[in-house]
Structure 1
Amino acid sequence: MTDPNHSSAEIEALKHEAQRWVLRLTSGEATEADAVALNRWRLTSVAHRQAFAEANLLWTKLQPATAISARDGPAATTSSSQDSGRHPAHLGRRAFLGGAIAAAAAYTVVRPPFELWPSLAELSADYRTGIGQQRQIPLTGDIWLKLNTRTSVSALSSRGGTVDAERIELISGELAAATNNLSAKPLVVVAGEGQTTATHARFNVRHDGGTVCVTCLDGELEIKHPHRSSALRSGQQVAYNTQSMGDAVNVDTDAVSAWERGLLVFRNDPLARVIEEVNRYRSGKIVLMNEALGRRPVLATFRIDRMDEVVPRLQAVFGVKIQTFPGGIVVVI
C-alpha cells in the first residue's frame, strides 16, 4: 500500500489499526455501534479504506488454512499447548497481527448471527446504508443511484470491461438506478456472477442470499452471466445465481419499486416472504416457527417508517402467538 499523503510509518500504523478493527469484529462482542464507528474510521481517507481492504483480503486468503486449523485444532494442539503452557486461542489472535486470524471467530464476520451486523465485505464498501435507511447517489450528471436498506455498493474501475463505462458492484442489498441517452458512458452494475448494462433505462437490482434479481422498470437492459445472456424490456425481470440464470418474466413493477416511495407492497405473497422482507427494514429479527402459517397469503401495504406496526397487525389478522426477546428478536409461533 502506497500513499503520497502518508509516510511509511503512518501507513504501517494504519495497517495495524485495520487489523485491530478486524479483531474487534471477530471478538464475538461486536455491535451495530462498532459497525458505525468502523465506517466512520474508513471514511477518514483513501489510505484508511485501503488499509481495511487489505486486512479483509488477508483474512480471505488465510481462510482455507485457518479453517483446517479450526477443524484439527483441539486434537492437534493438545500436547503442544501442555508442553509450552500457552493457550492456542491466544496464539490465534496474536497470529493475525502477524498474518493470520482464528477461523471460528472470523466466521461471525462473514456470516454474522441473524445478520445483526454487516459482514466485512459490506463494511468495505464505498457506499452503505444501515437498517431502514435510503440514500441517493449522483454518479454523474446523467446517472444516479438510490440505495435501499442494508445495501453496500463499491465503485469499480471504469475500464473493467470491453467498453468504457461507469461500473459499480452491488455487494449486497438493493438499488434503483437511472440513466439517460445523454450519458457519456453506460452504467454497468456487477452483482454476484452477472452484470447489468444500461444506456437509457430505469431499473432495480437486488442481491440477497446468493441470488440476484434484476427488474427493468423502463427502457432496455442487457444482462450477462457466465452461462447465458438476456435482454430485458420494461416490465420484465430475471433472476440468477452462481449456477444459472432463469428466463425473463413479466412482473408488477409498481410493487417492485414501492420501496422508493417508502412502502412495502404485498399482493398475495406468502407470510414467510413478507416476514423475510420486513426483517430487512427493522433492527433484530422476526423468526417464523410455523411452516404452515408461512404459506398463508398476505395482501397488505406497510409503511417503511412504521415497521413497528407489522407484528401487531400480524397478530390481529392471523391470531399468531408472539414471543419477544432482547435485541429486537421476535418469534412467531
Structure 2
Amino acid sequence: MNEQPSVPRETLQQQAVAWHLRLTSAAADETVLAEFARWRRQGPEHEQAYRDVENLWQQLPQPLLADRQRRRELAAKRRRAAWARRGLGFAAAASVLLALMNGFYPDYLQHPLADYRTRIGEQTSITLADGSVAHLNTDTAMDVTISGNERRVLLLRGEAEFDVAHDTSKPFRVTAGGTTTEALGTRFVVRYDGQAGSVTLLQGKVRSSQPSAQGAHIDSVTLQPGQQISFSAEELGSVQTVELQNADAWRRGRLLMNFVPLKQVIAEINRYRRSQIRLLDDKLGEREVNIALDIREIDAWLAALQQTLPVKVVEAGPFVFLQSG
C-alpha cells in the first residue's frame, strides 16, 4: 500500500487558513464545500490544523469579528448584484485568490515595472551608472534616471540608503511623493510609504524641499548629520535629532529601537514579514519597550518576548497574534 507523503505543519496551517477564508467569504457553494470535505478527510493532521484556526478565530475580539461580518455581507451583496449564478464559482475563486495575494504578496502587485525592486524581507545594493550606491531595504521600488546634467531617483515606496558619488556637474536628487532631497556628496536614507516618509542624514549635507500648500513658494530644509525630517503630501515636518546607529541598523541586519510603544515595534517588524503580527490588546500596544533584534531571527524574538513581558503569542498558519498573558 502506498502511503501519502506527509505535509509540513506550516503548509497545513496555511492551507487551513486559506480554507477558512473561503468558507467565511460568503462565496462557498456546494462545490467548494465538497472540496473542503475531501481536504479535511485526508488525515487527522488536516482536521487538527483546521480546528486550530477555528479556535483562534473564536479568540478574536468582537470588533474584529463584527468588521469581518460586515465585509462578508457587503461582499455577498456586491456579488449577487454583479454576477450570475453560473459565474459564481470562478468569481469566488478569483476573489479569494486576489485577497490572498493582497494579504500575503502585496509587494508583487505594486510597481511591477520599477527599475529596481526588493520583495518583503529582501535587501540589496545597486551600483548606479554614476558610481553612486543605493542600498534597498525590504519592500522597496525605485526608478533611476541619469542624464547629461542630472541624476534623479524616484522612490516609489520603501526605504533606501544612498551613498552618493561626488559630481558637481550633475545634482543627485531623490524624489518621494512631493518631496525632493538633493545631495551634496553625502550619505542619507529616504523612507516613503506612498503617503508620508522621512529623510535621515548620515554624512555630509542634504536639502529637502517641496512646494508649499498654496504653491506660492518652495519650503526647504537643510539637514546636518544625525538629523531627520519627516514629510507628508502637505508639508515638511520639523527637524529631529536621531541616533545614527539606529537609523541604518537595517543595513547590518538589525532593528534597534529605544523607548518606543510595542505597537510601533510590531509595525516596523511587519515590514520584513509576509505573515503579519497583530496586537489584540490596545493597552499592550502602548507599552514602551527597547529592542535589539536580528531581522532574520524575528521568530526567536517573539518566543523570547513571552519570557520578558506578560505577552502570549498565538500562531495559526501565517497569522501571529499577541495578547496580554
Match of 1:188 in 2: 173
Distance in 2, Cα, partners of 1:118 & 1:258? 22
Match of 1:15 in 2: none
CA change 1:301–1:183 in 2 (3 A) is: farther
Distance in 1, Cα, partners of 2:90 & 2:166? 58
Distance in 1, Cα, partners of 2:298 & 2:88? 45
Question: Is the contact made by 1:180 and 1:199 (CA closer than 8 Å) also made in structure 2?
Answer: no
Structural mapping, 1:173-212, within 5 Å: 173-182=158-167, 184-208=169-193, 210-212=195-197
Match of 1:279 in 2: 270
Provide the aligned length of Structure 1 versus Structure 2.
244
Match of 1:52 in 2: none
Match of 1:121 in 2: 110
Match of 1:150 in 2: 139
Structure 1, unpaired ranges of 5+? 1-27, 30-69, 92-101
Match of 2:125 in 1: 136
Bigger shift: residues 193-202 or 120-129: 120-129
Match of 2:44 in 1: none
Match of 2:284 in 1: 293
221, 227, 234: which one aligns with 1:236: 227
Shift of 1:112: 2.2
Shift of 1:132: 2.4
Match of 1:112 in 2: 102
272, 278, 298: which one aligns with 1:307: 298
CA change 1:187–1:321 in 2 (3 A) is: same
- Is it true that 1:254 corresponds to 2:239 in the alignment? no
Instruction: Give 1 or 2 for the bigger CA radius of gyration.
Output: 2
Tell me: higher relative CO, structure 1 or 2? Use CA pairs within 8 A at least 6 residues apart. 2
Shift of 1:278: 1.1
Q: Which deviations, in whole Å up to 9, do the C-alpha atoms of 1:214-243 show, x marking residues without a partner?
A: 001111111121222221121111111112
Shift of 1:183: 6.0
RMSD, matched Cα: 3.2
Q: Which deviations, in whole Å up to 9, do the C-alpha atoms of 1:57-102 show, x marking residues without a partner?
A: xxxxxxxxxxxxx9x9769768xx6xxx9859989xxxxxxxxxx9
Question: Is the contact made by 2:102 and 2:109 (CA closer than 8 Å) also made in structure 1?
Answer: no
Distance in 2, Cα, partners of 1:258 & 1:185? 30
307, 322, 325: which one aligns with 1:332: 322
Shift of 1:116: 3.6
Shift of 1:199: 2.6
- Is it true that 1:245 corresponds to 2:230 in the alignment? no
Distance in 1, Cα, partners of 2:249 & 2:302? 20
CA change 1:105–1:169 in 2 (3 A) is: farther
1:127 partner amino acid: Y
Match of 2:4 in 1: none
Question: Is the contact made by 2:149 and 2:169 (CA closer than 8 Å) also made in structure 1?
Answer: no
Question: Is the contact made by 1:134 and 1:148 (CA closer than 8 Å) also made in structure 2?
Answer: yes
Query: TM (normalized to structure 2)?
Result: 0.66
SS at match of 1:205: strand
Match of 2:308 in 1: 317
184, 198, 223: which one aligns with 2:208: 223
Question: Is the contact made by 2:130 and 2:165 (CA closer than 8 Å) also made in structure 1?
Answer: no
CA change 1:293–1:76 in 2 (3 A) is: closer
Query: Deviation above 3 Å: which 4+ runs of structure 1?
Result: 72-78, 85-91, 104-109
Distance in 1, Cα, partners of 2:301 & 2:279? 14
SS at match of 1:323: strand
SS at match of 1:234: coil
SS at match of 2:129: coil
Distance in 1, Cα, partners of 2:194 & 2:313? 26
